[in-house]
């Protein structure tokens, strides 16, 4: 019940296309859903995050869509650029202890 399932494991998208990464969870005690971006040789860094009281959050080319009833959330990258090539992690946090439960990661490659 503590798992966050992320898919796909890897994704190749043409420059200018839309990249979509999906995550699903079971535990309704999660209250915060961030996406982290990790470049090779670096630590993960927060990209965008959402709380379950909203269905969508947009920051520039990055959008999180959240479906509370389905217990799913997804990251959409519009107009994908080669600089977006990275590994993306979704996560979910327990309100009670601030612990993040991480998805397995998606390696995104944007082809020029």
Partner 1 sequence: DAGVIQSPRHEVTEMGQEVTLRCKPISGHDYLFWYRQTMMRGLELLIYFNNNVPIDDSGMPEDRFSAKMPNASFSTLKIQPSEPRDSAVYFCASSLGDRDTQYFGPGTRLTVL
By CB under 8 A, which span of 17-25, 54-62, 68-76, 97-105 interacts with partner 1?
97-105
Among 11, 81, 102, 109, binds partner 1 (CB under 8 A): 102
Give yes or no for residue 109 binding partner 1 (CB under 8 A). no
Residues 35-74 that bind partner 1 (CB under 8 A): 41-46, 49
Give yes or no for residue 93 binding partner 1 (CB under 8 A). yes
Give yes or no for residue 94 binding partner 1 (CB under 8 A). no
Give yes or no for residue 25 binding partner 1 (CB under 8 A). no
Find the shortest distance in angstroms from Cβ 2 to partner 1.
Answer: 11
Find the shortest distance in angstroms from Cβ 74 to partner 1.
Answer: 19
| Three-state DSSP string of the chain | CCCEEEECCEEEEECCCCEEEEEEECCCCEEEEEEEEECCCCCCEEEEEECCCCCEEEECCEEEEEECCCCEEEEEECCCCHHHCEEEEEEEEECCCCCEEECCCEEEEEEC
What does the longest C-alpha to C-alpha distance in the chain come to? 44
């Amino acid at each position: 019940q503590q798992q966050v399932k992320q898919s796909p494991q890897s994704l190749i998208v043409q420059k200018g296309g839309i990249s979509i990464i999906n995550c699903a969870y079971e535990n309704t005690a999660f209250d915060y859903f961030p996406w982290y971006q990790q470049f090779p040789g670096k630590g993960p860094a927060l990209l965008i995050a959402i709380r379950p009281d909203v269905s969508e959050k947009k920051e520039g080319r990055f959008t999180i869509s959240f479906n509370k009833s389905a217990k799913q959330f997804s990251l959409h990258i519009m107009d994908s650029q080669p600089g977006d090539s990275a590994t993306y992690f979704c996560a979910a946090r327990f309100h009670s202890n601030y612990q993040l439960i991480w998805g397995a990661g998606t390696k995104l490659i944007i082809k020029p």
